[in-house]
């Protein structure tokens, strides 16, 4: 009898996160959602990066790619996300020592709330990732994988850990603010039931914060800042020049982050969010970068542990119920 494998994937504009459960054990992975077409690549592949051969072309994907190859399109029905999802599936199967031919593979993937609410958009994305029910031939770091995706589960962004501890959530109300790379998603829950009327998304993710920060830094210091520089600056919380921390840069960055978080909260208030719920959760990779700003305004809120993996943990629980 074939054993069951459950994989949850959250392919965001900043990073792709994956979680697999097989034979009672779990493994995770995270890599940057950056894709570059290459040819005859000879360099060593760096950690959290992968060489891909797919449909007659070769690509590099992951952390070693320049920030200039990030994707800022609102849609996830793109080659970058398809390859990111296939990469996560194959690498997670490899980590778990599982083989496509002798398991029942169950995969859950997230989509933005506007796509989730639309039957036609959701079905279009599902067909796109399932490769229109055709076998997928995918070569990852010179290892060949042939597999099929059937009946993938489509989940919405912004559920956080709601479904990982259903007993705790049953008799309470909660809201989840999922701060992603391009978007911030908001959703309220009564117990484990999402309030679909409350579901909304704002284009105030971390890429928007980076654009604001670049503008302020260039205006203040009159220096060229590359996309790679900007990523390093926002992670470190200061700017350096000629080996020295630039005076006033820490304070400027802190103020830009505060203003951006204010924009995230104001958007929620404009869409009938009162913050009167029993529990308020912040998830997504952006909640790590904005941790200080979050706790200043919401000292009793919960910033999910390993917030990048909050959604995929819920995806697995949904699938286990679905296929139990």
Q: Give the pLDDT of residue 185.
A: 92
CA 298, CA 175: separation in Å to the nearest integer?
13
Q: Is there a domain that residue 37 lies in?
A: yes
CA 68, CA 259: separation in Å to the nearest integer?
25
Say whether both 172 and 127 belong to one domain: no
Q: Is there a domain that residue 324 lies in?
A: no
Q: Is there a domain that residue 103 lies in?
A: yes
Q: Give the pLDDT of residue 286.
A: 92
Say whether both 145 and 201 belong to one domain: no
Give pTM, 2 decimals.
0.88
Say whether both 294 and 171 belong to one domain: yes
Say whether both 202 and 124 belong to one domain: no
Q: Give the pLDDT of residue 163.
A: 75
CA 82, CA 76: separation in Å to the nearest integer?
8
Owning domain of residue 183: 162-305
Say whether both 117 and 170 belong to one domain: no
Q: Give the pLDDT of residue 296.
A: 96
CA 71, CA 36: separation in Å to the nearest integer?
11
Say whether both 212 and 250 belong to one domain: yes
Which residues share a beta bridge with 155? 110
Q: Give the pLDDT of residue 176.
A: 92
Please report, for the domain that includes residue 209, its CATH number.
3.30.420.40
Side-chain-side CA neighbours of residue 250 (13 Å): 4
Q: Give the pLDDT of residue 167.
A: 66
Say whether both 191 and 301 belong to one domain: yes
Phi, psi (rounded to 5 degrees) for 294: -65, -50
Closest by CA to 308, choosing from 278, 281, 286, 291, is: 286
Say whether both 150 and 11 belong to one domain: yes
Say whether both 295 and 239 belong to one domain: yes
| Domain final position from 102, 126, 156 | 156
Phi, psi (rounded to 5 degrees) for 243: 80, 10
pLDDT along the chain (324 residues), means of 10: 93 93 95 93 89 96 90 87 98 97 95 90 96 97 96 87 71 90 91 89 92 94 91 92 93 96 96 92 91 95 85 90 82
Q: Looking at the 3D structure of the chain, how many domains does it have?
A: 2
Q: Give the pLDDT of residue 37.
A: 95
């Amino acid at each position: 009898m074939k054993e069951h494998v459950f994989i949850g994937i959250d392919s965001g504009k900043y990073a792709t996160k994956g979680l697999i459960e097989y034979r009672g054990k779990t493994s995770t992975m995270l890599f940057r959602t950056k894709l570059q077409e290459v040819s005859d690549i000879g360099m060593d592949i760096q950690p959290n990066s992968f060489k891909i051969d797919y449909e007659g072309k070769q690509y590099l994907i992951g952390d070693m790619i320049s920030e200039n190859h990030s994707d800022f399109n609102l849609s996830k029905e793109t080659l970058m996300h398809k390859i990111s999802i296939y990469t996560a599936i194959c690498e997670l199967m490899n980590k778990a020592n599982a083989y496509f031919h002798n398991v029942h593979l169950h995969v859950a993937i997230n989509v933005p709330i506007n796509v989730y609410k639309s039957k036609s958009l959701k079905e279009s994305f599902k067909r796109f990732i399932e490769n229109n029910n055709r076998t997928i031939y995918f070569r990852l770091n010179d290892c060949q994988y042939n597999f099929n995706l059937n009946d993938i589960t489509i989940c919405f962004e912004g559920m956080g850990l709601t479904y990982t501890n259903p007993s705790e959530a049953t008799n309470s109300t909660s809201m989840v603010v999922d701060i992603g790379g391009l978007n911030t998603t908001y959703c309220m829950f009564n117990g484990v039931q999402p309030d679909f009327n409350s579901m909304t998304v704002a284009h105030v993710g971390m890429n928007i914060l980076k654009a604001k920060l670049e503008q302020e830094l260039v205006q203040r210091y009159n220096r060229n800042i590359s996309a790679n520089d900007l990523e390093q600056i926002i992670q470190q919380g200061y700017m350096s020049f000629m080996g020295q921390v630039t005076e006033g840069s820490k304070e400027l960055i802190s103020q830009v982050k505060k203003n951006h978080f204010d924009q995230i909260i104001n958007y929620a208030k404009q869409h009938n969010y009162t913050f009167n719920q029993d529990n308020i959760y912040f998830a997504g990779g952006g909640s790590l970068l904005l941790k200080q700003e979050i706790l200043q305004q919401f000292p009793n809120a919960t910033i999910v542990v390993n917030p990048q993996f909050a959604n995929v943990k819920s995806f697995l629980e949904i699938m286990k119920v679905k296929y139990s």
